[in-house]
Chain A
């Protein structure tokens, strides 16, 4: 014969077996008699019964068919591609709007004027601040005498031009 506490422990061990209907008849009668008189074990049995019912219900939910499972990831990839294409379309549209904005005469002409001014300013500034790199010498005209001929040699930018005089058959260097 079990004491109260021992009986509670015995019922707790056999509760699942009892709820599954697999407990032997003698044990079943003893458990039912105990549950009748023990509120704590009865609540435990009710809780376990509810939990098992919930698990059975969840397990009974319909799952994806093989065809649906096969189509799942391709569909996800297609949605991603659509999203990327949409983002690209929006980006191109934004660029087109920016170009259209710059091509408006009210914007384009002042912008060109500023650009020309900057180029001109840089050029003048360069020649003023670094005159040695600008063309320093320019031979505007050159002619020989009655008994001489002349030749202009210019090796290039930054190098002084050379005027060479041929007098009475004198040779160059």
Chain B
């Protein structure tokens, strides 16, 4: 969040915590009420070894969180969603990832996240509060030869 870093740096140089608090408490009207969403869809399995280099920084987090021997990036759908408007991405196996921003407050995004089965029935519904740059892993749906893991992030 470059704008926040800039204000924070100015306040730090200029002095007083009170000035900083005032700046941070001020509404950030310049921010559009849209959220950039990105989902890295990963096939994790124990067939073979290796981590897809396209996964970048997520590779280490995957290695820390799971014990699969191979992680392969299947797709990286991304898009912008306005408050209250769902954003959808197709997942392997006829499933769907649906993300709806429900609030933007104090630099956090609140997202309603659903994974829908092939028949459109929800298999998971969650409300997640993310800081920009934060991510959450959603995994478990089976997909040969392993399982799907979705690294969901917002900015």
Q: Give A residues with C-beta under 8 Å from B.
A: 117-118, 120-122, 124-125, 128-129, 131-132, 134-148, 150, 153, 155, 159-167, 170, 172-173
Contacts and interface: CB of A to CB of B under 8 A. Distances in A.
Contacts of A142: 124-127
A145 to B, nearest CB: 4
A122 B8 CA distance: 11
Interface stretch (B30-38, B47-55, B79-87, B115-123): B115-123
A3 to B, nearest CB: 102
Task: Report the interface size class on chain B.
Answer: 35 or more
A165 B141 contact: yes
Contacts of B138: 162-163, 165
Interface in B120-155: 121-142, 147, 151
Contacts, number: 145
Consensus secondary structure, chain B interface: mixed
B9 to A, nearest CB: 7
Consensus secondary structure, chain A interface: mixed
Contacts of A124: 17, 20-21, 24
B124 A161 contact: no
A173 B44 contact: yes
Contacts of A160: 61, 65, 134-137, 151
Contacts of B4: 128, 131
Contact of A129 (B5, B107, B122, B123): B5
B18 interface: yes
Contact of B126 (A134, A143, A172): A143
